[in-house]
Structure 1
């Protein structure tokens, strides 16, 4: 299973990368979410040398037995930057790494942490997608981060959970681990009931528009969002954007998924013309304010239309 859509999905961003020479250097920093739970919020733009491919959100939980890191970065270089951000908060070592998904910046730092003694966890479907897309992801990343990719080797979970849901306890911290298969097949969210925090992986985007890649599944995303609503977290760490709450997650992701299904999906099922449908729904006022709207919305609609046309 190869994901040609990875290259296509990354190429959508090329129009946003012309000013990389002026892009400020990104330094990952932790922010406390609740108690011993922290988030590291990445920039909203494309992968670059300035941000070391860390254009996503990460997190960690500090326990008496060590640190639990959620997602490991896009390379060994990026992983070291995340490690430094953790060390600014606690001297505890990173003992566990959990992968929410299989997009490059969520797991290609696994090997870095494994070589330092961390135990890597993921769901089986996530690992399957990682193995299928690793070669293509490394080739694609080379164009964005250059020599920062040196020393990066794909590393896979040594502890694999069957899914699609799993209850896991590490360092005395309970996790509810739920498969979403929204952005990539096998993607997941991780809920911490003791602190009412959910790391959504790429199920939720806020502040910027959700990206629908060729391998994304907006129907599964909408179903998974309802599962997230049932968990009712007080704090939401989205895949992209600032730490938030369910109200913003609903407004900027849940509602957008429903918009695509109810309008674009319905038009495809009704055998309406593609071009007319894209023009009709080109400028929904409730989403136009989101970063990257102009670059992504029409492509999102096109992919959803084709999906519903082929699989009504």
Structure 2
């Protein structure tokens, strides 16, 4: 059977959803709706996080979380934003398979990607993360936990203890096989956060990108982000020619959509800011010149993030190139 034949119709036609479906996707969906598994193949599923910011409605899960069912257990891709949500993720996975969650891969260091680690460790799962990812998690742990508690409240975050991987993996890549499925964990540079990774499932032509790729909503560049490395990571991902891209935010889609919403945007920022620096344009001049990019205005939160992204790309490239 071809790879495309294994992929459900919904994924292949994700850009042709009905107006009602698109409206529902735009809403801040409650956690019980987020935790309705979406199948990519018989073995690979994901939970479609809210496109809104972290709220009491989505319990901080405004990112995608995936899972892969193997013959020797389930590999969870990110552990959620809290002890409570991690429990609910486990329950949602159990509705699809009797296999236990034996491994949890951390794609990155933002709160909603790893603050559920402690729960899964208590259930006997192994946490798989690169050393640089675990180091960034430890650095940001208190800040992220405090901010999420302020947003969601003490009750939602009760029992949550930041726990980076106890035995993180040295190097920039970790390939392993479990239950007949091959996994490739590849360092994505500092990207959105230092230590972000891409997860490639080569036999299934699927990539989980973490925060290297956003679709439907505008990506964010932080003071600690590296937009140049993020663009290189995107290009690495694209070179694998995946048939399904599961972004950090936005529905599972194809490479062309990921290119439109993230690859083209990063390439535009890096190219235009580099040109501005070479021409001795000031920060204000570059921000003004790039203030309105119509080809990206379809992205949710464009008005909140775009000018800030230009600003931070300029400051980063001014200091590093």
Which of 151, 162, 185 aligns to 1:177? It is 185
Gaps of 5+ in 1: 1-21
Residues 157 and 172 (structure 1 numbering): CA distance in 2 closer, same or farther, change over 3 Å?
farther
Residues 264-275 of structure 1 correspond to what in structure 2 (within 5 A)? Answer: 264-275=273-284
Q: What are the Cα deviations for residues 80-102 of structure 1, in whole angstroms up to 9, with x where unaligned?
A: 12112211211211111110011
Structure 1 residue 266 displacement after superposition:
2.5
Q: 2:220 aligns to what?
A: 211
Q: Is the Cα–Cα contact under 8 Å of residues 187 and 195 in structure 2 kept in the other structure?
A: yes
Q: Is the Cα–Cα contact under 8 Å of residues 163 and 178 in structure 1 kept in the other structure?
A: no
Q: Output the CA distance in 1 between the equivalents of 2:262 and 2:152.
A: 29
Residues 15-30 of structure 1 correspond to what in structure 2 (within 5 A)? Answer: 24-27=29-32, 28-30=35-37
Q: Output the CA distance in 2 between the equivalents of 1:171 and 1:135.
A: 36
Q: Is the Cα–Cα contact under 8 Å of residues 28 and 51 in structure 2 kept in the other structure?
A: no
TM-score (norm 1): 0.90
Q: Output the CA distance in 2 between the equivalents of 1:123 and 1:23.
A: 32
Q: Is the Cα–Cα contact under 8 Å of residues 29 and 50 in structure 2 kept in the other structure?
A: no
Name which of structure 1's ranges 196-205 and 83-92 shifts more when overlaid on structure 2: 83-92
TM-score (norm 2): 0.88
Q: Is the Cα–Cα contact under 8 Å of residues 265 and 304 in structure 1 kept in the other structure?
A: no
Higher relative contact order (CA closer than 8 Å, sequence separation 6+)? 1
Is 1:237 the counterpart of 2:246? The answer is yes
Structure 1 residue 23 displacement after superposition:
5.1
Structure 1 residue 26 displacement after superposition:
2.7
Which of 46, 50, 53 aligns to 1:46? It is 53
Q: Output the CA distance in 1 between the equivalents of 2:64 and 2:232.
A: 22
Which of 135, 138, 153 aligns to 2:161? It is 153
Which of 21, 26, 32 aligns to 2:39? It is 32
Q: Is the Cα–Cα contact under 8 Å of residues 60 and 67 in structure 1 kept in the other structure?
A: yes
Q: Is the Cα–Cα contact under 8 Å of residues 28 and 52 in structure 2 kept in the other structure?
A: no
Which of 160, 171, 194 aligns to 1:163? It is 171
Q: 2:116 aligns to what?
A: 109
Q: Secondary structure at the match of 2:91?
A: helix
Give the CA RMSD over aligned residues: 1.3
Q: Output the CA distance in 2 between the equivalents of 1:58 and 1:86.
A: 11
Where do 4+ consecutive residues of structure 1 move more than 3 Å? none
Residues 257-296 of structure 1 correspond to what in structure 2 (within 5 A)? Answer: 257-296=266-305
Which of 277, 287, 310 aligns to 1:301? It is 310
Q: Output the CA distance in 2 between the equivalents of 1:29 and 1:159.
A: 31
Which of 66, 70, 79 aligns to 2:86? It is 79
Residues 23 and 204 (structure 1 numbering): CA distance in 2 closer, same or farther, change over 3 Å?
closer
Q: Output the CA distance in 2 between the equivalents of 1:26 and 1:157.
A: 26
Q: What are the Cα deviations for residues 156-183 of structure 1, in whole angstroms up to 9, with x where unaligned?
A: 2134222312211223321111111210
Structure 1 residue 311 displacement after superposition:
1.7
Q: Is the Cα–Cα contact under 8 Å of residues 42 and 54 in structure 1 kept in the other structure?
A: yes
Q: Is the Cα–Cα contact under 8 Å of residues 62 and 68 in structure 1 kept in the other structure?
A: yes
Aligned residue pairs total 291
